[in-house]
Amino acid sequence: MIDDDGGAPVRTAVRTAPLAPRPASLASWTQRVVASVLDNLLLGGVVFLAVPVQPTAAPDMLGPGLPADGSVVWNDPWVLSVFAAMLVMQAYLGSSPGKLLLGIAVVDADRGRPVGLLRTLARWVLHVLDAILLVGFLRPLWHPWRQTFADSLVSTVALSTRSPLPHRGLERLVSRRRGTQAVPAHPVATQADLAPEVELRRRPRPAPGAVLRNVDDRSPRWRRLTTLGSAVVVTAGAAFAIGPTTGTSAPQTYSWCEVADPPDAPLRLVHGSVSTWPEPWTESRWGVERVRLTDQPRGLHVAWGWDGEVPQEDVVMRLRLRDADGGTRTIDHVSRGGQIQDGLGTPVGDTSTEVLLPLSVLDDVGEEWGWELSMVVDGEELPGCGASAPPPA
């Protein structure tokens, strides 16, 4: 108020300009990492449910370049459908399910809108560059616009917002259905609004003009419902990807023997072993059972450990199986020129030879069985060793 010439005070209205809404910020590296973990947990759960025989690896939303245990499943229709749906969400909503939960939108760096399917697919493929020593995935930690190499190449940025500008195609489609004209219904901000955090780093900024939606705008109802649905499917996927697991398998066995007094011969057996690998491991999560293959192939593994020089003549690797009644069964594997000829085995020429037999060879020996190993050189069977029925491992 102003006192004019000592008279009564005059009250005047003071107008203040409304505060500009806070512009959308760049998504943090931690946000992006957590969102990627959630996406991959969803895919991992789908793979567990869809593929009866494990282990297999799910497609990775971080691109085709990351190493994975097992072979990636590309031929299952369920896995492909979910992966394609997540890619389409990323393309036209700016967010995959994990990004929706974390409030992240990947948009065009110049227009602030989702980039569509082709650029999204190109960005996914270009993540191969980011996967090299993981440098590209760490790049947002120091890059002024927190971009990976793939982001820079396709000109995208990741925003921390739950209400990005809609994709142009979707906006036109909604407008036609409503009979209205597509006009922005919210204020916008440019990359200049984010300048302080960039200028502090004294780094050059990309070309100005990127349109970023304000985070103060309320997220549309359909996007909130989509986020809720994403929370449900991500939770279910994580439950089957890393949930509590129980497993059952037939007992594996292993036994070993050593020759007490190896002969003084050019080639002699010094030790041996027999192990069984039965049916693969069966695991269960939330009542869903899956077969998990092991590194060891199913069967009876027999190994001869020897010392000396391998002669050019035939060498016989002999296995005798002994049942509880004292009956025996002999299985010979002949080596010619340093290579096992009968059955599966490793070449003779190192210090051991292993063969794999089907478990059916044990069908007639009963539960209490034993074995003996020996070698036959120049028609003479050299001293060997053996053991009783292998105890369960």
Which pLDDT value is given to residue 184?
Answer: 45
Quote the CA–CA distance of 306 and 263 in Å, as a whole number: 11
Q: What is the pLDDT of residues 162-220, one digit of tens each?
A: 888 889 887 777 667 666 554 444 434 444 454 444 443 333 444 333 445 444 457 78
Q: What is the pLDDT of residues 264-315, one digit of tens each?
A: 888 888 999 998 887 778 899 999 999 887 776 788 889 898 888 766 677 8
Cis preceding linkage at 55, omega within 30: yes
Answer with the residue of higher pLDDT: 357 or 242: 242
What is the value of pTM for the model shown? 0.68
Quote the CA–CA distance of 195 and 63 in Å, as a whole number: 30
Give the 3-state secondary structure of residue 374. Answer: strand
Indicate the pLDDT class of residue 392, thresholds 50, 70 and 90.
Answer: low
Which pLDDT value is given to residue 79?
Answer: 95
Where is average pLDDT lowest: 9-18, 53-62, 196-205, 223-232?
Answer: 196-205
Which pLDDT value is given to residue 46?
Answer: 96
Q: What is the pLDDT of residues 331-379, one digit of tens each?
A: 888 877 656 655 545 555 566 778 888 888 888 888 788 999 999 888 8
Where is average pLDDT lowest: 115-124, 217-226, 229-238?
Answer: 217-226
Q: Which residues of 285-316 are buried (b: 16+ CB within 10 A; e: fewer)?
A: beeeebeeeeeeebbbbbbbbbebebeeeebe
